[in-house]
Structure 1
Amino acid sequence: MSRDFPETARPGVKVQPPKAENNRWKTMFTLFLVLLMSPIRWAAYYSDVPPAGGFRDFQMLILDSVYHPPLDELSRGRTLLGYISVGEIEQTRSPFKPAKAKGVLAGENENWKGSFFVDVRSTWWVDQVKIAVRHALDQGFDGVFLDTIDDAEYLEDKDAAVFRGMKDAMVRLILEIRREFPAIPIAVNRGYAIVPKIGPSVDFILGESVFSDYDFASKSYRRVPQKDYAEQVNVLKAARQRNPKLNVLTLDYWDPKDAAGISRIYREQRTNGFSPYVSTVELDRILREPIP
């Protein structure tokens, strides 16, 4: 996953919904509590064109925080999370040029051409992320989905001398978002190395490519090796055991023409006690769970 950022809004300001919005916020808070207490039907969708068939049956949506369908009708009866990439930035996004000029880029992601790793130790970058969070909330999102947080672990493990402190910086960034925006739902993608430190401060953890993923080299969908699958399931279960209110989501990628394969993934993840969604790797279409 990887998308992003506006150029306006002021970081570091707590969410204060106007009085006219109080009823909506109370309703969303109630829905949010329901989500935390039970398995949920959710989807991730990154396009500004509404999908055929709409978003019926989903209780929660993760949408691109900049390029998305109109939110007014979507917000009725469901929770909306705005996607924000905190560890990478695409070269088509507005902060890319200033990020490059400030020297905070840390190389291109080979799997996503045009998307560049970011040095999250930069205070300038932290401000940009908070600007993006504020912008998402101002548009009508209820909370945020923070992606690419495990890039910090990847870079520090790749070159500890150059990227020392990246994991700790990512922890600080997420905890700072929680302090600045104490009432919003926050979801994070993976970041397993720092989950013990951030778990109490987030509401959802998403395991991406837990059971299945996409091989960019062969351009095909595949099962995750059993050892890797078991390790991820154990990490996610341990995270929830430490924080019983933490809701575990899974996002697996599979061939949209293989209904039996998709159904198997849903069964497997629900058996694990997770809330699954299965889609194509582009996440630009809604792939519905097959009807038995």
Structure 2
Amino acid sequence: MASTKHLFPLLIKTAFLLVMTCALVFSCKKDNTPVPLNKGKLQDVRFWAYQLDGLEEPAAIDAICNSHYDLIVMDQQRSILGAEDYDTKSDVARMHGSTNSKGKAKVVLCYFDVGQAESYRAYWQSSWTPGSPTWILSPDPDGWNDSYGVKYWSPAWKNIMKECLGKIIDDGFDGVYLDWLEIYNEPAVIAAAATEGKNPENELVSFLTELATYARSRDSSFIFIAQNAAEMGANQDYIKLFDAIAHEDIWYDGSGDPDNGGSQGDVAVDPLDTQEYLDQLKVWQLAGKPVFDVEYAEQPAHVSRAYSLGKENGFINYVTLRLLDKLSTTPPPGY
């Protein structure tokens, strides 16, 4: 039997190495960007739902609370112009008090458009138009009303977004679901960035890093989910900011704003685009990021196909209609 006199220094050295290894793995970063630490909140999500409109109706909140979706993405009603006194915090608390598919609390995320200024939001000023202030650019390219691309590197826009994010955190949301991240690739943005000698991709990463740093300084477990712009997963400084990605219309889409006569769904996506999305999303999966998918369809064959293909690719699917004004009438299999 070995002498404990010789074993003790060895044990001390081994313990020291283990501690240092753990410290390197879990603590050391090249910068101060908070690393997502929220797998515990997302790893058990099997069913998710997405609703942005109609939330001012008590029946809508009741329906969400009575559902057993594991994760809810919703708009912040008090961010709407004229509804600033709405008690969103109570709605979020009610949802947290309701149970998911496993009898646990729901995860509740706030929809957050960081790439467009929306004229129906409380931050909007009546005198604003594209070009005035100068950081407001062109209208939404898909014809959605009241939405305008922005120079997201503008200090004024950053301040507005940080203030909005603070209110989201105040209302008790578990995180944000960030939309219009593909803004960096819009022609008006590319032109504006070139005029100012800026790289739009780098500016997007810098902007989102500021938001993530602020949010996680207040809540270290605050979730960030990206919607679309899956190609940005190739940028390591970008992908590390997010806990997951969501993607719209991999197989089925609508044809623009339904309020302008667009279709609510069942428009087949070009197979070449579908394959491009799938290839880009594999990068996220290889990085250990869950992939949420929302398809827009109501025809039974399309709904069934969308759920089947989503499962085949390892996605967490939700099939609904473009208006996103109520819970889906075609929930996932097994829901």
Q: What's the TM-score bracket when you normalise by the shorter of the two chains? A: 0.7 to 0.9
Instruction: Measure the CA separation in 1 of the matches of 2:333 and 2:239.
Output: 34
Unaligned runs of 5+ in 2: 1-36, 79-87, 98-104
1:283 corresponds to 2:328: no
Q: Please give the per-residue CA displacement for 1:177-206, whole angstroms capped at 9, x wherever unaligned.
A: 221222201111112343323111110111
Q: Is the 8 A contact 2:176 2:224 kept in 1?
A: yes
Q: Is the 8 A contact 1:108 1:114 kept in 2?
A: yes
Partner of 1:267: 308
1:189 corresponds to 2:223: no
The one of 137, 149, 161 aligned to 2:194:
161
Aligned residue pairs, count: 258
**Larger strand percent:** 1
Instruction: Measure the CA separation in 1 of the matches of 2:245 and 2:332.
Output: 25
Which structure ranks higher in relative contact order (CA pairs < 8 Å, sequence separation ≥ 6)?
A: 1
Q: Please give the per-residue CA displacement for 1:60-102, whole angstroms capped at 9, x wherever unaligned.
A: 1111023568122201301111111101122121222276543
Give the drift of 1:139: 0.9
1:145 corresponds to 2:186: no
Task: Report sequence identity in percent.
Answer: 20
Partner of 1:45: 51
Instruction: Measure the CA separation in 2 of the matches of 1:157 and 1:193.
Output: 17
**Larger helix percent:** 2
Q: Is the 8 A contact 2:318 2:332 kept in 1?
A: no
* SS at 2:178 equivalent: strand
TM-score, normalised to structure 2, is 0.70
1:112-131 mapped onto 2 (5 Å cutoff): 112-131=144-163
* SS at 1:74 equivalent: helix
1:34-113 mapped onto 2 (5 Å cutoff): 34-38=40-44, 40-47=46-53, 48=55, 49=57, 50-51=59-60, 53-55=63-65, 56-67=67-78, 70-76=91-97, 77-97=105-125, 100=129, 101-110=132-141, 111-113=143-145
Shift in CA distance, 74/262, structure 1 to aligned 2, threshold 3 Å:
same
* SS at 1:285 equivalent: coil
Q: Is the 8 A contact 2:107 2:174 kept in 1?
A: yes
Instruction: Measure the CA separation in 2 of the matches of 1:155 and 1:61.
Output: 33
Give the drift of 1:35: 4.4
Instruction: Measure the CA separation in 1 of the matches of 2:110 and 2:128.
Output: 21
Give the drift of 1:157: 7.4
Unaligned runs of 5+ in 1: 1-28
TM-score, normalised to structure 1, is 0.80
Partner of 2:85: none
The one of 262, 287, 290 aligned to 1:247:
290
